[in-house]
A and B are shown apart, each in its own frame.
Chain A
Amino acid sequence: MFGFDEKLRILADAAKYDVSCSSSGGKRKNNGGVGDASASGICHTYTEDGRCVSLLKILMTNYCIYDCSFCVSRRSNDVQRAAFSVKEVVDLTMNFYRRNYIEGLFLSSGIFKSADYTMERLMLVVKKLRTEERFNGYIHLKAIPGASESLLKEAGLYVDRMSVNLEIPTEEGLKLVAPEKDHKSVREPLAIVQNEILNVQQHKKIVKKAPLFVPAGQSTQMVIGATPETDLQIMQTANEFYKDYQLKRVYYSGYIPINATDSSLPQIGTTPPLIRENRLYQTDWLLRFYGFSLNEILNNKHQQLELDIDPKLAWALRNPQFFPIDINSADYSWIIRIPGIGRQSANKIVQARKYGKLKEFQLRKLGIAFNRAKYFMICQDSIVSTGFHYPEQIKKSILEYNPRPKLINSQTQLTLFS
């Protein structure tokens, strides 16, 4: 046996491959107990790999009856195993929370004995936190595929977010690395929870004080680079899941080699595809917040995202017919399509131009990446006849100015296109 400290080390280590740490979208208010959910989420610290630490992210146990070859906790892997008791997780969460270390708990688990047995223990933790400790902080719970509808629904009453990981973007890919699993078992719990969310929303229209049910919605995660899917396939799956289950987030997690025996997976020592992962997040953002359709960014002709430039710039270079865009007259929806201009700066531009046409020196100060944007826009004092720049030439000068693609944390949303 080992001490509690060692147990925490094992069960935090095994949980860290789940990249989601978001604590946003919570709606819980504090009435007399402890905690509330900050609507925008808070990162209390950052790991040395630069990821946001918002939640205490641990597994209930890393014992598992399955053998998914991409996972550290697979039964055939020779690792130390440990399990928390319900009380231990509750105490740890409360003590970390009261010291302002965390926003709440992200609890997941290996499958111990059966899906229902595992789900029940997860449910007991969240129930105890809400009812006995009167804890109103954020809770993200992993739904266990195959768990009964009644357990999922009961857990849903106490948590803010639920998620089920797709793990591998396509069914064929999944069959390669986890023959015991399929996408259907992921869709089931997502559908059950989604239905109940809709039910509760219906109910709310009639009764004002309907109980909360998974108020921060559902999410999923795909592992990138373990299996040979194209970016197009990945984003098609993401798109479909966003639509079918109204997911709040899809996470893309670059595969970190952890299996020395399976030769179909990238070998240990291979660096995780961090840039590709970042490009996928950027695409995800373009689709959800910038009004792009998937077809504009990825299609049968362009099945992979470029690694050396971001997808918005790539789209702009493929579509010179739309440029230059006049900053002083174009719609907001077109200004955000200019490479180097994000949503915040676009907003400022639209506000500021009401008081007079904007000139270059003003734009430079509004937080845009001017050296990138300048090829795609005109402002009040632009010299119009700069001659036509060929896309290849623009790309070259942009890359010369900013030679290495910037690695951006998947969690930092605001700087995605700076």
Chain B
Amino acid sequence: MNYIFDGSYCGYLSCVFEAFERKEFDVIPTTQQLMVANIFSEKREIPSCSMKALRIATGMEKIIGRHNAKLFYHNFLADNSLEWTNGFRLIVELFKSQHLDMQNYGRPDLLRLHQSIKKISRERHRMKAFIRFVKSYNNLYTAIVEPDFNVIPLVIDFFKNRFADQQWLIYDIRRNYGFYYNGRTVQEVSHIHGQDIQDPYCIEVDLDPKEKEFQHLWKTYFKSTTIESRKNLKLHLRHVPKRYWKYLVEKI
């Protein structure tokens, strides 16, 4: 049975709630976009309901603690139906047996959960590292990104603490939403650009007059700090995979 939800964590937890309501446990949580078209598969639309989601969330925290409950949120950000299903099954088990040993790495499904979380956390770490701000004339610092997983929510606090005195916008163009910080608070924004923005370094019109100069200086620095006789492109590529290059000043 496919449970179609809206792609939010609230919707995901609502699926768990519905599963218990209907005693349907062989469920694949998915979204309209991700669902593999198959006329034979049954599906049910599950509306997001914050009351239901909250009950599931607090229930989970009660049984396995806050820290462990958070792991399911991180796994959810994988943005992929297989990981969603694995997490879903584990949540169902957790409620049924009122218990789950999260550190039991000997179990393939729990190990998988941890591996998925590790991937997410790697991507989150990469975003902290690879986000590059472009300064515009009105002092807004903009970064456009396209992470493999939906990890931007996980780095917002980091950027808020770090760049507390500057205005910035971090925008995920794959998922078409982002976060804007006005110097005091963070707001979620979506669909602000048309679909046509692909290259963050193309928005030239309203750049800060010194922006290009600093981009150039950064490239100069990057080149000069390389030691030719130690060159090791394989290692370089492992650390900075090609798919991130178009957002890195020093690699374009």
Q: Could you list which residues of chain A lie within 8 angstroms of chain B, going by C-beta atoms?
A: 4-5, 8-10, 12-13, 15-17, 29-30, 32-36, 38, 42-53, 56-57, 92, 95-96, 98-101, 134, 254, 256, 271-272, 274, 348, 351-356, 358, 362, 365-366, 407, 409
Contacts and interface: CB of A to CB of B under 8 A. Distances in A.
A46 B248 CA distance: 11
B222 to A, nearest CB: 7
Interface of B: 101, 103-108, 111, 125, 128-135, 141, 143, 158, 161-166, 210, 214, 216-218, 220-236, 238-240, 248-251
Given A9-B220, A98-B141, A355-B104, A32 B164 contact: yes
B124 to A, nearest CB: 11
Contacts of B101: 355
Contacts of B131: 100
Contact of A33 (B105, B143, B164): B164
Given A351-B105, A365-B111, A53 B163 contact: no
Contacts of A254: 230
A295 B234 CA distance: 35
Contacts of B239: 43, 46, 50, 52, 409
A1 B125 CA distance: 42
24 contacts: A12-B225, A16-B224, A30-B162, A33-B165, A34-B162, A42-B125, A46-B235, A47-B222, A47-B225, A47-B226, A48-B231, A49-B235, A50-B232, A50-B235, A53-B225, A96-B217, A96-B221, A99-B141, A256-B229, A272-B230, A355-B101, A362-B106, A365-B108, A409-B235
A34 B163 contact: yes
A46 B231 contact: no
A187 B221 CA distance: 32
A101 B215 CA distance: 10
Contact of B227 (A33, A98, A256): A256
If over half of B's interface residues share one DSSP class (helix, strand or loop), that class is named, otherwise mixed; here it is helix
Contacts of A12: 220-221, 224-225
A39 B222 CA distance: 24
A150 to B, nearest CB: 32
B227 to A, nearest CB: 5
B216 A46 contact: no
The 5 closest A-B pairs by CB, nearest first: A50-B235, A49-B230, A352-B105, A12-B224, A46-B239
A348 B214 CA distance: 45
Given A53-B222, A99-B141, A352 B104 contact: yes
A366 B220 CA distance: 42
A33 B161 CA distance: 10
B231 A8 contact: no
